[in-house]
Every structure is written in structure tokens, then in C-alpha cells.
Amino acid sequence: MAKNTFFVTGTDTGVGKTMVSAAILEAAKTAGLSTLAMKPIASGCDETPDGLRNEDALALQKAMTEDLAYDVINPIALKPAIAPHVAAVQAGKTVTAQRLIGFCRGLQIRPADLMVVEGAGGWRVPLNERETYAALPRELGMPVILVVSLKLGCINHALLTAEAIRSDGLQVAAWVANRAEPETMSCEQETLDYLMGHMAAPCLGVLPRLEGPEPDPAELARHLDLAHLIEKI
């Protein structure tokens, strides 16, 4: 059984959850840990000879140490590159929290030191008219890793998201600052200093912005310190 599972969420969509998740997997591998990962639902999938494939899920598949079939990593693949609950309706599919929870539990029974579950968008992304994605980590009691994109407004976004996670009864296990924007934000160090003092959770690292269409997770992993996660394993 997976010893420890962490849910990765972000302050918004497009903040780099996948690259952070892959970098965590790479850093864990370097530390000698066995890893699993999944992205239970993914929109914006491409048609391939093997079926719908999502580039984020493929990145996780490449970064983890254990061999998994794609359908286990990404059991719900949706073609439209829109919000998952809308994409599911357009695809004629029903997505419920219990269905996603079942997929996660099925993977958690496999042996590994560390398992990462990547969410979609931010903390309150809808799954349907009644449920949000937060129901999954809440039901499974997963500690959360929060990805914060360094841009104007990120302090507010980060603190509000952390507050929402804790109000749902979950632990913010750690957070990662990611330079997802093309331009360095004004007063970046002051912003980082404030977040370090007010997030009430350890920062695993501040990731650089790497050029190129496919940043190397192994390079990003060098900027992470997983000591706070590894001590739980």
C-alpha cells in the first residue's frame, strides 16, 4: 500500500501543478523512494492511436518510478480543453466525487513510498452541480501540497486557498512557489518573505522559470527540499 499520499492543488489554473508534481516525483526518486501518481480527471486530451491522452498525465507517468497503465493514471480523459465539469457534460459523462475516490483507493493499495494525486484548477473546481474536487482529498484525508504562482495577487490567493483547505479539515502539508509567469513579478522577494511568514506550512522550494515547451522536471527537482515530506514517510 502507498505509505503516504499527497494531493496537489493550486491557487488557480495554469500555476504549474503538473510540473511541481513531476518535480516532487523526481526529487523523491533521487532520494531513493518508490513513487506513484495519478491525475484522476483531465480535460484537454488529444486523440491518439491509443485513445485520448493528456500531456499532464503523461508527464506524471514519465516521472514516477512504478509502471502504470495510462488508464490507471488518468481514468477520466476528456477532450475539450475547458473546465472538467463542463467537459464531462459535453462528453456525455457523469463525474462524481465517489467515482474519483474509488479510482484513488484502487491505486493506493499498490506498494510505494510516496503517491501524488494532482487535482484540476484550484481548490473549489466543480465536478458537477453539487460537488467540488475538494471532496476527494477531504474524503480520503489527504494532506495537501499547494502550488503558488508568483504573480501580483498571489498572497491573497495563497492565504485564501490555505484557509479553505484547513476549513475543510485538511492539513496544508507544504507549499511550492512557482515562477509560472513569463515576467518576474515586482517585489518578488518581499512577496516570498511574507508568504514564508504567514502560510503556516513549510515551503518545499522556489522554482525557476525554465525556457522551452517542456521544462525538465529533474532540473526543477534540484530546487526542492523534500525533507518535510520524507520525514513523514
The pLDDT tens digits of the residues spanning 6-27 come to: 999 999 999 999 999 999 999 9
The pTM of the full predicted model, rounded to 2 decimals, is 0.94
Q: Give the fold, CATH level 3, of 2-230.
A: Rossmann fold (3.40.50)
Confidence category of residue 1, pLDDT binned at 50, 70, 90: low
What pLDDT is attached to residue 209? Answer: 86
Residue spans of the domains in the chain: they are 2-230
Torsion of CA 69, 75, 80, 81, to 10 degrees: -80
- Cell (9 digits) for 71: 488508464
Residue from 17, 39, 79, 232 carrying the catalytic annotation: 39
Question: Pick from 7, 23, 5, 9: which is nearest to 122 by CA?
Answer: 9
CA distance 203 to 65: 24
The pLDDT tens digits of the residues spanning 107-152 come to: 999 999 999 999 998 999 999 999 999 999 999 999 999 999 999 9
For 25, the 3-state DSSP assignment is helix
Please confirm, yes or no, whether 39 is among the known catalytic residues.
yes
CA distance 22 to 18: 6
Count how many Cα atoms sit within 13 Å of the Cα of residue 170 in the half-sphere of its side chain. 28
* Contact by Cβ (8 Å): 153, 170: no
CA distance 23 to 97: 27
- Cell (9 digits) for 191: 512577496
Give start and end residues of each alpha helix (H) in the chain.
Answer: 17-30, 55-63, 70-73, 84-90, 97-108, 135-140, 154-167, 188-198, 217-221, 227-230
- Cell (9 digits) for 165: 483547505
What distances in angstroms separate CA 23 from CA 194, 201, 223, 224, one per listed residue? 24, 19, 9, 8
| Chain mean position to CA 157 | 16
